[in-house]
Every structure is written in structure tokens, then in C-alpha cells.
């Protein structure tokens, strides 16, 4: 009989990529990849579905920079669905169902609405959806905030000489009208004067500013969201779909659980969800990936235990070192033409390249993004340095938050446990250094990937798999890889120490 200990699992730190002959330079490589069967993105990075990593601000920033964010599910269905809405409305080519306001609404309510959606003004419509005015910052500028409660939208809105366009206006014509009349918003109306859409100058600017953005067919940013598979999970999936989510991630610590597979097949077989892609996971073996594929997923997510906050491997003694897990899962994925996501354990940009060469199409990041400005939570000062909270979704804090309900406990199949001291955590809580805005952090991570592609001579991600070769290293090799025999005196933007 073969020994049960024959198999060897390797982590990112166990290997390096060999330098190869190359005719590419780092700035010219193409990192376009497939997130799922039907969605491509220019940057192979996903922000994790964790309550200290991805809410709408992070999801917007990730999509603008060419990746995507997965909104966490440790919040009520309504709150999560409204975050989808915020991302989908953050920018677009043409908004087909713009937010509007009624003329009788108070300025105080209008102010709240604008704040929530980060917008500067709204078209005003009557009870029959006819456009009767527009109200923007300009109309509000000279109004004292004490007057917000008793003044109504109709008292201050612009109603004369409204600049509007026909419903079928082209992008170029819209741009011309915005420029000619020096207005920021162009409401579109049909022959009966009903509002049918809105085009804003902000969206033209954003398109130029973020040419790599991950967008849907209507020019809106794409967004993903995590769901479970117990209790009101179906209601959550439905609400997220109705809010316009692009991708649902059936988010569990063990994708091979029958309940998770059933949820995946149920969504994939329901015609109401035909425009939504489904990611399943997490798994860490070839058989696990096959189970996800058989359930019908549009991408498989790999990772049991590699997360920087994860204790599954010590609490349960279960997991597979991540490089091997990705390699094994990718074999099943490749055969079925289903993309593969390497989730967890990415500390340095070099790990991204290793994951892609091993067969992943993209990577999911938690700890490396939790310190960004756009991650939820405030900065704290510790020993004279700024930090942000980062915790596992299986930590005590996330599964049994004091005075709050946890919606995501079932990720670890602990939904039926009601008493907090009966929770068995599989993650920890901590602080990670504050790292500034996401675009700077991602620039370093993806910049590092460009360097890897240069070293191995790959013009694109597919070529990385063909041309990349690993060499196993020893502990001495790992020590040699990191800076050594020196005291670091200056911080590097892409290196935090051994």
C-alpha cells in the first residue's frame, strides 16, 4: 500500500520562479484575466469578503483599478444590497434608472440622500415621473443649513431652461451638450417629458481617469458579494441580484459541504439568476475543485487555511499548503475551462506570480488590503504608528460580536450555536499597518507582477503558465531571498520584513 505521507504540500515560500529568456519589458505586459467564465478584468486581484476589508468604498476602488471587490456578508440583507446599489450607481455610461427626488421633499432629506450615494445633485420628477427640474450643489450653495428643514426641493430647484437630451442620445452628443451648456448633469427625457436616464460629466472624467476599470455592459462598475447557504441565504441572494450584483460568492470555509454545493446548483438552475455569475469555494484539492465544477460554478476559489488570520490548520488540523492546493485545483479547473482563484496567504507581490504560474487566474487578498484607506474601520495609533483592525471571519469578534448579530457564522458551519462561549473560532483578530489609498498599494502589488512577467518572459497571464518554472528552495534559500545582515532603516512601499 502507498504510504499516506507520500504527498507533499508546498507553500509560496517553498519555491521561486526561474529567470528565463525574455523579450518583454515590465510596462508592456498584459495582465488581463478571467474572473469567472464570463467576466474578464484587467488586473487579477480581488478584495476579500471580510468585514475589515470590503464594503462599498473598497469595492468601488478595486473595480476602478481593474480588479473587483466582494462585499462581505456580516451585515443585514438590506445593508448589503444597498452597498451593491452604491457601487452600481457610483459611475456609469448612462444611468437608466437614476435616483430622483420629488419636489415636496425637504432639503434636509435631499442632503442625506446625496451624502449616502456620494452624489452632488438629482433630477426632480413629479408623481408621473415627468421631469420638473434639477437640483444640484449650485442651487444649494447659498442656502443656510438651518433652513434645510423647512425649505423644499421645489423652492430652490432649477426649473427654467432645463438642458435635457433625448433618450437615445449618443455618448458624443451628450458630451457636446454638457460642454456647450457647462452643466454637470444631463437628464434624458422621452416625448412625453418623462425621465428615462441621466448622463453625468463625472462619468466621462472617471472613464479617462480609470481606463482599466472593471465595468458591465452598461458602463457601471462591477461588484461581487458573499452569501451563505443557511437560513435566509436565498433571500439574501435574491436581494443582491435585484440590486444588480454581478457575481455571488457562495462563501464557506468548506465548499465541499453538501449544503454549499446545493446552494450553488440552486442559483445556477434558477433562470432569475441568469445574469449573475457564481463563485464557489473554498476547496484545496483537485476533487474539491471538481465538486464545485459539478455543482455548476463559474469560478472555483481555492484556499483552506493559508489566510494570514486563519487558524483552521491548527484548530482543525486541516488544510493544504497553498501553492500545492492551487496547482491541484487548477488541474480540474483547466480541464473544465473554469477560472481558478487563489484565496489567502499572499504577502508579497511575488506570491501573486507564483499563484498564477501554478494555475490560478486571479488572487484574492485580505491582509494586504485591510490597511488601506478604503477598508472599513478607523485608524488607530499604536507605538507611534498607524494601524487598522483586521480580523478573520472565523474570529470571535466576527462570529460573536459584542451586542451585535453575526450574519456570517455559518461560514464555519456554527450557525446553530447561540451562546458566544460555545463558538469555536478558526481565526484571530489583530492590527495591520495603515497603508494609505488602495491605488498605491495595488500599484506596488501589480507592479511586482509586471516585474515577474518580465523575468519569466511572459507577455500575458496564459504565457506565465507556459513559461514559468518553479525551483524548490530550502530554509537557507528563503533566508537568502529576504534582505539579510542589515538593519532596515527606511520603509519600502512593497516590503514589510521577514
Per-residue mark of binding to ligand RVP, 448-477 (x: CB under 6 A): ------------------------------
State the burial class of residue 9 (Cβ atoms within 10 Å of its Cβ: 0-12, 13-18, 19+). middle
Per the CB < 8 A criterion, the answer to whether 362 and 46 are in contact is yes
Cβ-Cβ contacts under 8 Å for 378 (sequence gap 6 or more) = 388
Per the CB < 8 A criterion, the answer to whether 252 and 394 are in contact is no
Is residue 247 part of the contact set for ligand RVP (CB under 6 A)? no
Residue placing its CB nearer to ligand RVP in the complex, 197 or 427: 427
Residue placing its CB nearer to ligand RVP in the complex, 398 or 464: 398
Nearest distance from C-beta of residue 363 to ligand RVP, angstroms: 9
Which of 165, 344, 397, 448 is the binder for ligand RVP (CB under 6 A)? 344
| 2-21 binders of ligand RVP (CB under 6 A) | none
CA of residue 168 relative to chain centroid, distance: 32
Is residue 121 part of the contact set for ligand RVP (CB under 6 A)? no
> Omega into 229 within 30° of 0, i.e. cis?
no
Q: How many Å apart are CA 417 and CA 409, to the nearest integer?
A: 9
Q: Which of 64, 411, 435, 467 is catalytic?
A: 411
Calculated CA dihedral for residues 153, 114, 193, 171, nearest 10 degrees: 150
Per-residue mark of binding to ligand RVP, 21-50 (x: CB under 6 A): ---------------------------x-x
Nearest distance from C-beta of residue 406 to ligand RVP, angstroms: 12
Which residue is associated with the grid cell 465548499? 255
Nearest distance from C-beta of residue 69 to ligand RVP, angstroms: 12
Helix axes 438-456, 56-64, angle to 10 degrees: 40
Residue placing its CB nearer to ligand RVP in the complex, 245 or 249: 249
Per-residue mark of binding to ligand RVP, 295-334 (x: CB under 6 A): --------x---xxxx-x----------------------
Task: Provide DSSP, 235-277.
Answer: HHHHHHHHTT-SEEEEE-S-TTSHHHHHHHHHHHT-GGGTT-E
Kindly state the number of chain residues that form the binding site for ligand RVP, as judged by CB under 6 A: 23
Is residue 364 part of the contact set for ligand RVP (CB under 6 A)? yes
Per-residue mark of binding to ligand RVP, 391-420 (x: CB under 6 A): -xxxx-------------------------
Nearest distance from C-beta of residue 388 to ligand RVP, angstroms: 13
Q: Which DSSP category does 93 fall into?
A: S
Residue placing its CB nearer to ligand RVP in the complex, 63 or 134: 63
Q: Which of 310, 333, 340, 372 is catalytic?
A: 310
Which of 93, 427, 448, 468 is the binder for ligand RVP (CB under 6 A)? 427
**How many residues make up the chain in this entry?**
498
Nearest distance from C-beta of residue 314 to ligand RVP, angstroms: 11
Q: How many Å apart are CA 178 and CA 134, to the nearest integer?
A: 14
- Smallest Cα–Cα separation from 62: which of 349, 339, 464, 372? 372
Pull the grid cell for residue 35.
474572473
Q: How many Å apart are CA 10 and CA 230, to the nearest integer?
A: 34
CA of residue 281 relative to chain centroid, distance: 16
Per the CB < 8 A criterion, the answer to whether 43 and 65 are in contact is yes
Q: How many Å apart are CA 114 and CA 120, to the nearest integer?
A: 6
| 252-291 binders of ligand RVP (CB under 6 A) | 282
Q: How many Å apart are CA 463 and CA 482, to the nearest integer?
A: 27
Which of 288, 345, 371, 397 is the binder for ligand RVP (CB under 6 A)? 345
Nearest distance from C-beta of residue 77 to ligand RVP, angstroms: 21
Q: How many Å apart are CA 306 and CA 318, to the nearest integer?
A: 11
The interface region with ligand RVP, picked from 197-205, 260-268, 362-370, 381-389 by CB under 6 A, is 362-370
Residue placing its CB nearer to ligand RVP in the complex, 244 or 344: 344
Per the CB < 8 A criterion, the answer to whether 391 and 429 are in contact is yes
Is residue 426 part of the contact set for ligand RVP (CB under 6 A)? yes
Residue placing its CB nearer to ligand RVP in the complex, 213 or 304: 304
Nearest distance from C-beta of residue 391 to ligand RVP, angstroms: 7
Is residue 346 part of the contact set for ligand RVP (CB under 6 A)? yes
Nearest distance from C-beta of residue 94 to ligand RVP, angstroms: 34
Nearest distance from C-beta of residue 482 to ligand RVP, angstroms: 18
Q: Is 380 helix (H, G, I), strand (E, B) or coil?
A: strand
Which of 365, 372, 389, 458 is the binder for ligand RVP (CB under 6 A)? 365
Nearest distance from C-beta of residue 427 to ligand RVP, angstroms: 2
Q: Is 310 a catalytic residue?
A: yes
Any bridge partners for residue 412, and if so which? none
Residue placing its CB nearer to ligand RVP in the complex, 321 or 366: 366
Which residue is associated with the grid cell 504510504? 3
- Smallest Cα–Cα separation from 276: which of 239, 250, 241, 225? 241
Pull the grid cell for residue 486.
542589515
Binding site for ligand RVP (CB under 6 A): 48, 50, 282, 303, 307-310, 312, 343-346, 364-367, 392-395, 426-427
Active site residues: 310, 411
Amino acid at each position: 500500500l502507498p504510504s499516506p505521507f507520500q504527498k507533499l504540500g508546498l507553500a509560496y515560500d517553498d519555491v521561486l520562479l526561474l529567470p528565463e529568456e525574455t523579450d518583454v519589458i515590465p510596462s508592456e505586459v498584459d495582465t488581463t484575466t478571467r474572473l469567472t467564465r464570463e467576466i474578464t478584468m484587467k488586473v487579477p486581484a480581488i478584495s476579500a469578503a471580510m468585514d475589515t476589508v470590503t464594503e462599498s468604498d473598497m469595492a468601488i476602488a478595486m473595480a476602478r483599478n481593474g480588479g473587483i471587490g466582494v462585499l462581505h456578508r456580516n451585515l443585514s440583507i438590506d445593508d448589503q444590497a444597498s452597498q451593491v446599489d452604491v457601487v452600481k450607481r457610483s459611475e456609469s455610461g448612462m444611468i437608466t434608472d437614476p435616483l430622483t427626488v420629488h419636489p415636496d421633499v425637504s432639503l434636509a432629506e435631499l442632503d442625506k440622500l446625496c451624502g449616502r450615494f456620494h452624489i452632488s445633485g438629482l433630477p426632480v420628477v413629479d408623481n408621473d415621473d415627468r421631469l420638473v427640474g434639477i437640483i444640484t450643489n449650485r442651487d444649494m450653495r447659498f442656502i443656510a443649513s438651518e433652513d434645510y428643514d423647512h425649505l423644499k426641493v421645489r423652492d430652490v430647484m432649477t426649473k427654467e431652461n432645463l438642458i435635457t437630451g433625448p433618450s437615445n442620445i449618443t455618448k458624443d452628443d451628450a458630451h457636446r451638450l454638457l460642454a456647450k451648456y457647462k452643466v454637470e448633469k444631463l437628464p434624458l427625457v422621452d416625448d412625453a417629458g418623462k425621465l428615462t436616464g441621466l448622463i453625468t460629466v463625472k462619468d466621462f472624467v472617471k472613464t479617462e481617469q480609470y481606463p482599466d476599470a472593471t465595468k458591465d455592459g452598461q458602463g457601471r462598475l462591477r461588484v461581487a458579494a458573499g452569501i451563505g447557504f443557511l437560513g435566509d441565504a436565498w433571500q439574501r441572494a435574491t436581494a443582491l441580484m435585484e440590486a444588480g450584483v454581478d457575481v455571488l460568492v457562495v462563501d464557506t470555509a468548506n465548499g465541499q459541504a453538501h449544503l454549499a454545493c446545493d446552494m450553488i446548483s440552486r442559483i445556477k438552475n434558477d433562470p432569475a439568476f441568469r445574469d449573475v455569475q457564481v463563485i464557489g469555494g473554498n476547496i484545496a484539492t483537485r476533487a474539491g475543485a471538481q465538486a464545485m465544477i459539478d455543482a455548476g460554478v463559474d469560478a472555483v476559489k481555492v484556499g483552506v487555511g493559508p489566510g494570514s488570520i486563519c487558524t483552521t490548520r491548527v484548530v482543525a488540523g486541516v488544510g493544504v499548503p497553498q501553492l500545492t492546493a492551487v496547482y491541484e485545483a487548477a488541474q480540474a479547473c483547466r480541464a473544465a475551462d473554469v477560472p481558478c482563484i487563489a484565496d489567502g496567504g499572499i504577502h508579497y507581490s511575488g506570491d501573486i506570480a507564483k499563484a498564477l504560474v501554478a494555475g490560478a487566474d486571479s488572487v484574492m487578498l485580505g491582509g494586504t488590503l485591510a490597511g488601506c484607506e478604503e477598508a472599513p474601520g478607523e485608524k488607530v495609533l499604536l507605538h507611534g504608528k498607524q494601524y487598522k483592525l483586521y480580523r478573520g471571519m472565523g474570529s470571535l469578534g466576527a462570529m460573536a460580536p459584542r451586542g451585535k448579530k453575526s450574519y456570517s457564522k455559518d461560514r464555519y458551519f456554527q450557525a446553530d450555536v447561540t451562546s458566544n462561549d460555545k463558538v469555536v473560532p478558526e481565526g484571530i483578530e489583530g492590527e495591520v499597518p495603515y497603508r494609505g489609498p488602495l491605488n498605491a498599494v495595488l500599484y506596488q502589488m501589480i507592479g511586482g507582477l509586471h516585474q515577474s512577467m518580465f523575468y519569466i518572459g511572459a507577455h500575458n497571464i496564459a504565457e506565465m503558465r507556459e513559461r514559468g518554472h518553479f525551483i524548490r528552495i530550502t530554509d537557507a534559500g528563503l533566508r537568502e531571498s529576504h534582505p539579510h545582515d542589515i538593519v532596515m532603516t527606511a520603509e519600502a512601499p512593497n516590503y514589510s520584513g521577514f
